[in-house]
Amino acid sequence: RVRRAGFAVRMPFAHFLRRFKMCAPSTWPRFKGADGDRGAVRAVMDACGVPHGTGAYEFGKTKVFIRAPQTLFAIEDVRAQRLHDIVAIIQRKWRQVAHRAFYRSLKQTSADVFYNNKRRRRMSVHRAFSGDYVGARDAGPFRAVQKKFGDRRLVFADTVTKINLRGKCAKRTVLVTERAVYTVSSILKKISRAVPLADIESLGMSTRADGVLVINVRNEHALVFTALTRSEFVITLHQLRQQALDAAATAGGGAAAKPARGQTVPTTFADRIAYRQRKGQRTLVFEEDAAVPDGDERFVKASGDTFKMLTSANLPADSGAAPRAAGAKQAEPKARFINKTGAGAKAAGVLFRVRVVHAHTALNARELTLKVGDVVNVTATDNAAGTSQGYVDGSRKVGSFKTALAERIK
């Protein structure tokens, strides 16, 4: 009788929802409205442009009856588009997770390399790593690298101050790919030098709070520059070298090489660094000078082939996160962020109060934006992750922040 009445398609509510619930925002991932499965089916039909009461479909006790096959075909088209959207959402979320894990590993490697070895500039302790600081992925220099050398992945890019063979400073753009380090002339926009990662013998830095890096290259003169993002550049080289070691070990069927943490590229810290030039050697000497502003540095020629870098005192070498103990595993992140309190719930009790000593701008809606001197009421802490949760005096927003950004009020 149903088919004779013109309803060619019938489906149980549960079967219909398993297949089409992603077509309506109110039914995906689950329906929370009234009238149970019947209400969910109605919501799906409305989202697909098939309102009830037009005769296109009718409800039975446990099934939905669709009159024309074309109606079902239209719903299938909506489903196909929604599946495409859902896949894109899953891919985007996965990339976010992978990128966060990558940058967390960069931060940990940074602690392994720099902790207790080098004084820190205040802005570098909690600075977020971004990778590409000059938009080079879509710019001409990286396209030239892709065309000439065949590199596919840009890992790091920033503008640096290169110290040339005559001891003069010049702006350069530095690109790091999975294969090499490239310097690009800021004026001519041409590749001036390419240094394969495999040819980097060692890295040299001072123990002072400066941005100078000496890259010693096999059978070539050293590459010397200063940059605000020097730490991220160094850590990127360590990560790429470790990835190369892992890939070589996998290809050879053996275990990956296990260099000391932070030493995949040999790295030394000294306040007197000698490096190779095309003819002979040059020496860089680092000294603290009270006349240099906080976070700044000055490059001067001392005598002959000796150059001097004057720096400010800044923070001690044990500032920032400490390296993990050998063999320790990174704790899995916990669901510790709370954006708002549910209806009728009481506010969490305050464990203690802290005063902010390092300003921070929130990177997402879950974090707090903090100014130096703010007093934060801490409601929860996670020592393994180095984060706390609370709210600033005078504000109702509860969010997370790095524990190291503040000091406890006694």
Is pLDDT of 65 > 60? yes
CB 209 within 8 A of CB 198: no
d(CA 402, CA 361): 11
**CB-CB contact of 197 with 237 (8 Å):** yes
Which residue type occupies 243?
Q
Percent of the chain scoring above 90 in pLDDT: 25
Percentage of residues of the chain with pLDDT beyond 70: 85
Q: Is the pLDDT of residue 342 over 60?
A: no
Whether the model clears a pTM of 0.85, i.e. scores above it, the answer is: no
Note the helical H segments in 158-301: 230-252
| The pLDDT value given to residue 337 | 32
64 SS3 class: strand
Residue 354, SS3?
strand
Which two three-digit tokens encode residue 46? 């409305």
Rounded to whole angstroms, how far apart are CA atoms 67 and 3? 9
**Rounded mean pLDDT of 83-109?**
84
pLDDT of 17? 93
Three-class SS of residue 399?
A: strand
Summarize pLDDT for 218-259 with one digit per residue, the tens.
999 999 999 988 988 998 898 888 888 877 777 765 555 555
Contact 405, 362 (CB under 8 A): no
Closest-CA residue to 366 (of 346, 349, 385): 385
What is the H or E stretch that residue 385 is in? Answer: none
Measure CA 151 to chain center.
Answer: 22
Work out the number of other CB atoms within 10 angstroms of the CB of residue 331: 12
Name the average pLDDT for the chain: 81
Say which amino acid occupies 162.
K
CA 58 to chain CA centroid, Å, is 51
pLDDT in tens, 375-402: 998 888 877 677 888 888 877 778 888 8
334 in Cβ contact with 385 (< 8 Å): yes
Name residue 122's amino acid. Answer: R
345 — pLDDT class (breaks 50, 70, 90):
very low
Give whichever of 56-65, 125-134, 250-259 has the largest mean pLDDT: 56-65
pLDDT band at 35 (very low <50, low <70, confident <90, very high): confident
Greater model confidence, 165 or 215: 215
pLDDT of residue 160: 92
CB 185, CB 172: distance < 8 Å: yes
Supply the pLDDT for residue 410. 66
Q: Cis (ω within 30 of 0) for the bond into 29?
A: yes
Confidence of residue 76 (pLDDT cuts 50, 70, 90): very high
Structure tokens at 298: 């000055």
130 pLDDT exceeds 80?
A: no
The 10s digit of each residue's pLDDT in 41-53 is 999 999 998 888 8
> Given this model, what pLDDT does residue 338 score?
31
